[in-house]
Amino acid sequence: MNQLGFPILTTVTFLPLAGAVLLLFMPKGRDELLKRVTLIISLVEFMVSLPLFIYFDEGKAGMQFVEKVPWIKEWGVAYYMGIDGISLFLILLTTFLTVLCVLSSWTAVEKRIKEYMICFLFLETGMIGALVALDLILFYVFWEVMLIPMYLIIGAWGGPRRIYAAIKFFIYTMAGSVLMLVAIIALYFLHGKATGEYTFDLLRLYQLALPIKTQYIMFAAFALAFAIKVPMFPFHTWLPDAHVEAPTAGSVILAGVLLKLGAYGFIRFAIPLFPAAAFKAVPVISILALIGIIYGALVCMMQDDLKKLVAFSSVSHLGFVMLGMFAFNVQGVQGSIYQMLNHGVSTGALFLIVGMLYERRHTRLIADFGGLSRVMPVFATFFMIVTLSSIALPGTNGFVGEFLILLGAFKANPVYGVFGATGVILAAAYMLWMFQRVMFGDIKHEENRELKDLNLREIVTLVPIVVMIIWMGVFPKFFLKKIDLSVQHFLYDIKARHEVVAMPPEEEGTSSLVKQVEGSGLKLLITKE
């Protein structure tokens, strides 16, 4: 079945859900107990996800830990799961951040703790499910399932405009996804017609060579759903609203994982399903990504609300992710995946930090702070390190990702590289200016004079993040080597199939594919079940 002989992906996916069910049966008022149980569940979940990393075979390009059981046989729907180097770390990021989210919610959430924790665990199942699913219907189910707990988290535990933000988030994302569903079903029928086999199996559908015009339409439908999630300019306006209103942990998960699912959707679905269209879309996506980088940074600079600032910085950072991905070379795509992880760690940490300030002062306006370094030195140190990671200082994780992305983009098209690199300057400007206004200068508000420095729980929340920032910055090879072959395979595969469509049949489609496999001299192990 897989290298562990144990359905580990199912376990990782549904363990949080089982935990949520367990919480259902627990008494409502016992808040401390509820929190502890949730923390234990999330820790166990993290532990259980670690074997994925340990036993992941970096010498294999195909899917690993595969589980495949027919689900709705008549329609060709299967319970089909598997991961490769691209999804591996996103799963670990999810389980890692969930632990920190539970820790950060300890005192921040005061009402309906039980429901809150259930929502979180439910959300975790949704996110991991979407990352491991290799069947389009299964994926779609998880993709939509995620929305519900996030909607509740924003709508029930959010700030004053939470209802507006929650509905905007839900409907905006949903609207994009519906088109994707239509495209999925169309793809199903097209594949059935072409081969006689009706299936939602993603890897089978990859092999379908569609005419270029069909590809355009289908790619557009998928891309729209994912672009809203990323969010790419100009589909980003739900994000600042959602972030500002969401509770801290909600923002962490939203920025840390949910947005990545948009980018992941591109790399797992939209691009390999419709490679010819994806190649044609390079200028459009790259330019939108560049606009996102620069526009996000400029708007970010003028924000007066800390959370909104971090939200716009996400727009800028996710622009980097998309720019690298559509460079379609090893550095760009690896950098893009690395940047997804970095952004999860660093922006997650920024939201945690803003949350810590909010808990103390019940405001997020930059103007209400100033001079905090003096009263909160430990906090200042953590904040500084996270800020530096966010502006991609060499030695931190952010640099590895941005450098690879910009190098990849530059290789693909120097103009993209040059414009992308201006984002590096702007990032320094807006982050350091924000840091200065919050942390430096004299204390302008008397309330800030008595602020308490971080307590032990908060330090425990932030230390793993700082460790990750430096570890990923100094020893990137530890991570990159697991991603490497999958990315090479991905690139090789889409390039080969893109050419099949782009240069229509002199010979039969499959044979020309094989020829290029031989011709490229690249050793690939394409696993067959």
Partner 1 sequence: MIEYVWLIPLFPAMGFLFNGLIGRWCNLDKKTVSWVACSALGLSFLFSILVFFSLLRLPPDARAAVPDKVLFDWIVSGDLKTVIGYKVDPLSIVMALVVSGVSFFIHIYSVGYMHDDTGFTRYFAYLNLFVFMMLTLVLANNFLFMFVGWEGVGLCSYLLIGFWFERDAPANAGKKAFVVNRVGDFGFMLGMFLIFTHLGTLEFNQVFAKAHILDPLTVTMITLLLFVGATGKSAQIPLYVWLPDAMEGPTPVSSLIHAATMVTSGVYMIARCHVLYSMAPISMVVVAIFGAATAIYAASMGLLQFDIKRVLAYSTISQLGYMFLAVGVGAFSAGIFHLMTHAFFKGLLFLGAGSVMHALSGELDMRKMGGLWRKTPITFLTFLMATLAIAGIPGFSGFFSKDEILWQSFSSPHGHLLLWLVGAAAAGMTAFYMFRLTFVTFLGKCRASEKVKKHIHESPPIMTVPLIILAVLSVIGGYVGIPHVLGGRNYFHEFLAPVLGGLPEGVGHASFSLVKLAHAGGGGMDGSGANLELVLMVVSVIIALIGISIAFYLYILKPDVPKKLAKRFKALYTLVFNKYYVDEIYEASFIDSAKKIGTFLWREFDDGVVDRTVNLVAGLMLWCGKILRKIQTGRVQGYALGIVLGAVVVIIFLIK
Angle at the Cα of 218 (from 217 to 221), degrees rounded to 5?
90
Q: What is the closest distance, in whole angstroms, from the C-beta atom of residue 157 to partner 1 in the complex? A: 24
Concatenate the DSSP letters of all residues of 261-322 into one string. HHHHHIIIIIHHHSHHHHHHTHHHHHHHHHHHHHHHHHHHHT-SBHHHHHHHHHHHHHHHHH
Q: What are phi and psi of 471, to 5 degrees?
A: -60, -50
Which of 96, 172, 358, 383 is close enough to bind partner 1 by CB under 8 A?
A: 172
Q: Give yes or no for residue 476 binding partner 1 (CB under 8 A).
A: yes
Which C-beta is closer to partner 1: that of 105 or that of 329?
Answer: 329
Q: How far apart are the first and last CA of the chain?
A: 9
Q: Which residue has the tokens 């329609």?
A: 75
Q: Give yes or no for residue 281 binding partner 1 (CB under 8 A).
A: no
Which of 16, 19, 344, 417 is close enough to bind partner 1 by CB under 8 A?
A: 417
Q: d(Cα 344, Cα 323) in Å, to the nearest integer?
A: 17
Q: What is the closest distance, in whole angstroms, from the C-beta atom of residue 510 to partner 1 in the complex? A: 27
Q: Give yes or no for residue 70 binding partner 1 (CB under 8 A).
A: no
Q: Give yes or no for residue 375 binding partner 1 (CB under 8 A).
A: no
Of the candidate spans 77-85, 102-110, 233-241, 462-470, the one that interacts with partner 1 by CB under 8 A turns out to be 233-241
Which of 50, 163, 182, 302 is close enough to bind partner 1 by CB under 8 A?
A: 302
Which of 357, 424, 465, 494 is close enough to bind partner 1 by CB under 8 A?
A: 424
In degrees to the nearest 10, what's the CA dihedral of 449, 452, 454, 458? Answer: -120
Q: d(Cα 75, Cα 527) in Å, to the nearest integer?
A: 25
Which of 441, 445, 499, 517 is close enough to bind partner 1 by CB under 8 A?
A: 441
| Size of interface with partner 1, in residues (CB under 8 A) | 59
In 3D space, the residue among 432, 434, 451 whose CA is nearest the CA of residue 372 turns out to be: 451
Which C-beta is closer to partner 1: that of 144 or that of 305?
Answer: 305
Q: Give yes or no for residue 400 binding partner 1 (CB under 8 A).
A: yes
Q: What is the closest distance, in whole angstroms, from the C-beta atom of residue 345 to partner 1 in the complex? A: 17
Q: What is the closest distance, in whole angstroms, from the C-beta atom of residue 252 to partner 1 in the complex? A: 24
Q: d(Cα 437, Cα 359) in Å, to the nearest integer?
A: 19
Which of 94, 316, 342, 373 is close enough to bind partner 1 by CB under 8 A?
A: 373
Residues forming beta bridges with residue 343, ordered by sequence position:
none
Which of 70, 283, 377, 504 is close enough to bind partner 1 by CB under 8 A?
A: 377
For 219, residues 6+ apart whose C-beta sits below 8 A from its C-beta are 270, 273, 274, 277, 278, 281
Which C-beta is closer to partner 1: that of 28 or that of 444?
Answer: 444
3-state secondary structure of 47: helix
Q: Using the CB atoms, write b or e for 413-426: b if 16+ within 10 Å.
A: eeebbebbbebbeb
Which C-beta is closer to partner 1: that of 200 or that of 430?
Answer: 430
Report whether 407 contacts 331 (CB < 8 A). Answer: yes
Residues forming beta bridges with residue 75, ordered by sequence position:
none
Q: Give yes or no for residue 388 binding partner 1 (CB under 8 A).
A: yes
Of the candidate spans 45-53, 84-92, 95-103, 372-380, the one that interacts with partner 1 by CB under 8 A turns out to be 372-380
Q: Which residue has the tokens 């090479």?
A: 488
Q: What is the closest distance, in whole angstroms, from the C-beta atom of residue 405 to partner 1 in the complex? A: 11
Which residues here bind partner 1, judged by CB under 8 A?
A: 168, 171-172, 234, 236-238, 295, 298-303, 329-331, 334-335, 371, 373-374, 377, 388, 393-395, 399-400, 403-404, 406-407, 410-411, 414, 417-418, 421-422, 424-425, 428-429, 432-433, 436, 439-442, 474-477, 480-481, 484, 488
